[in-house]
Amino acid sequence: MSFYECVNAFPEGGASASRMALTAKALGYQGIIICNCEPGRIFMPQAAGMIKGIEVAVGVEVTAPGSKALKSRISALRARYPFLVVRAATEETIRVASEDPNVDLLMHPCEVRRPLGIATARAAKLNQVSIGFDLSPLVHLRGRARSRWLEALRRNLQLVRKFELHPVITASARTHLDLRSPRDLAAMAEVAGFEPDEAEEALRWPGMLLALNRRNWVGPGVELL
């Protein structure tokens, strides 16, 4: 199966793109998507692209100081990169990202005080925006903090299911040591509340989005062959 993971590489992460690709290949991934905020500064991405047996794609994590700037930056970057991620930092960011069809993945936080809302889920469904679940807190949190995180994740997952959104799971690896195998990541997702088939689909979906975005669309639903 074609499993893909979204990662950060040096200088925004602690490992080079090549090291991330080699480790991901050994773990069983068919591809990685490097989602740095400044992809133009990735250290030697061409070297990572020469590694056989794994696809290395360069996406971008879109950041901006305000809603207008975020919209403008999303629009500007859409034509340059095949995968756009927005990591939700504020309610304004969440609203803009869920309402923009140019966004591929919204990394929504799993916080009890800031759950995925119905309006956000409805907008994401309308604009075909996938919802990302960062599973790294399952490793790093302990005790009550982990329980509260799991509670928030399961609430968000219920809404994702209700609106038939596409979830994506990731370990948000910033070094090669943070990477987890697809089997381990799927097992973590099941502990968090995912069904086995949901976890596998969530691991495949980034690669499917890449393939869709690389096709030559001349308009909504119209492809140039």
Average pLDDT over residues 160-173: 97
Neighbours of 1 (CB within 10 A): 10
Distances (CA, A) of 185 to 4, 27, 54, 56, 92: 11, 11, 18, 19, 30
Examine the pLDDT at 1 and tell me if it is beyond 80: no
Q: What is the structure's pLDDT at 214?
A: 83
Residue with tokens 């399952």: 138
Question: Mean pLDDT across the chain, nearest whole number?
Answer: 93
Reported as a pLDDT band with limits 50, 70 and 90, residue 100 is very high
Percent of the chain with pLDDT over 90: 88
Concatenated DSSP letters for 120-165? HHHHHHHHT-EEEEE-THHHH--HHHHHHHHHHHHHHHHHHHHTT-
pLDDT in tens, 68-98: 999 999 999 998 999 999 998 889 999 999 9
Q: In what order do the strands lie in the sheet with 167-170?
A: 60-61, 84-87, 105-107, 130-134, 167-170
Q: By CB neighbour count within 10 A (0-12 exposed, 13-18 middle, 19+ buried), where does 14 fall?
A: middle
The structural domains of the chain, ordered by start, are 4-223 (3.20.20.140)
**In 3D, which of 145, 70, 86, 79 has the Cα closest to residue 110?**
145
Query: For the whole model, what pTM was predicted?
Result: 0.93
